[in-house]
Amino acid sequence: MKLSLGAFLMSACMLTACEKDGPIDETDPNPPVEEPADTKAGTVSGSVVDSQGRPIAGARVRIENDWSYYDVSTNAAGKYTSPTLPPGGFRAVAWATIPYQGQDYTLRMGMPQASDYDYFDAKNGVVRNFKWQISGPIPDREGAYFGATLELMSGTGSIWDERMNPGDNVYVTLKPTIPLIDGSIGEVIERSFTIQSGNDTYLLHDIPAGQYEISCIRVTPDNYQEQLLIGTFSQQWEAALITFQPGEYGIGTYENGLKRLSLYMNLNR
């Protein structure tokens, strides 16, 4: 029997200057679309495309510094141009809202070069393009990834749990069951970790958002192997069906836009 758990995705833009007030954004959810023109002094322009290079209409691009920001939406061709900016340094960030498995995901967009994430002076006009990435590091967020994070816990904390031992290796297999969030066909993912004394929580980072069948195998130092049970706190199975869920925050978050998925592993007794 398989367990159904969760899902993941993107959002839009705006044209007025606003004072920065924290990570949660309550600006107009449907800002006016600014038709792009040739790059001109004092502005930022560019495009937002998906992982296959197709334009994303309605993506929100934010031009910001530590004091204020300007939002614009991409047009039908995925193009945008900012209003004329005041003097000073700015950087560009973008999000898009994507539907997947009956839910909307607001995801942060990637950029072609790591240097594109840096601050710039728009005095002579600047181009900043964006492309949806479903995996890989987010250059301006230390230890963060465009892919999702899976948290695996050894046991549930119950006194009845029979725990794995330090030195045991756990081999995790994730098999995509449908296309990934960007419509691409995912590959089987295999990860492993070693049980450490005093540590019951293990993180697997940068998993492309999608629906997977997950299973785990324990291998002891003397090469004894057994299938683990995996699932929720109250129920575990030999294989579970999981979907990464959208994060709690939308536009204005600098993370990937995905919620961490937590699962429990138990010995099959």
Residue predicted with more confidence, 7 or 177: 177
Q: Can you say whether residue 56 is alpha, beta or left, with left for phi > 0 and alpha for psi between -120 and 50 degrees?
A: beta
State mean pLDDT over 148-161.
Answer: 80
pLDDT band at 21 (very low <50, low <70, confident <90, very high): very low
State mean pLDDT over 55-63.
Answer: 97
Could you read off the pLDDT of 219-264 as tens digits, one per residue?
999 999 999 999 998 889 999 999 999 998 878 889 999 999 999 9
CB 184 within 8 A of CB 50: no
Q: Is the pLDDT of residue 158 over 90?
A: no
Q: Output the pLDDT for position 87.
A: 92
State mean pLDDT over 172-200.
Answer: 96
The CA distance from 65 to 89, in Å, is 7
State mean pLDDT over 32-47.
Answer: 73
Residue predicted with more confidence, 234 or 209: 209
Q: Output the pLDDT for position 249.
A: 82
Q: Output the pLDDT for position 156.
A: 65
Locate 51 and state its tokens.
């992982």
Q: Is the pLDDT of residue 33 over 80?
A: no
Residue whose pair of structure tokens reads 């899902």 in the numeric block: 7
- The four Cα atoms 138, 52, 63, 46 give a dihedral, to 10 degrees, of 140
Q: Is the pLDDT of residue 59 over 70?
A: yes
Locate 193 and state its tokens.
């970790």
CA geometry: angle at 245 spanning 244 and 246, to 5°? 130
Task: Tell me which H or E stretch contains 95.
Answer: strand 89-100
CA geometry: angle at 193 spanning 166 and 247, to 5°? 120
Q: Output the pLDDT for position 252.
A: 83
Q: Is the pLDDT of residue 17 over 60?
A: no
Q: Is the pLDDT of residue 141 over 80?
A: yes
Q: Output the pLDDT for position 119.
A: 96
Residue predicted with more confidence, 39 or 212: 212
Amino acid at site 184: S
Q: Output the pLDDT for position 40.
A: 85
CA geometry: angle at 147 spanning 142 and 151, to 5°? 85
pLDDT band at 8 (very low <50, low <70, confident <90, very high): very low
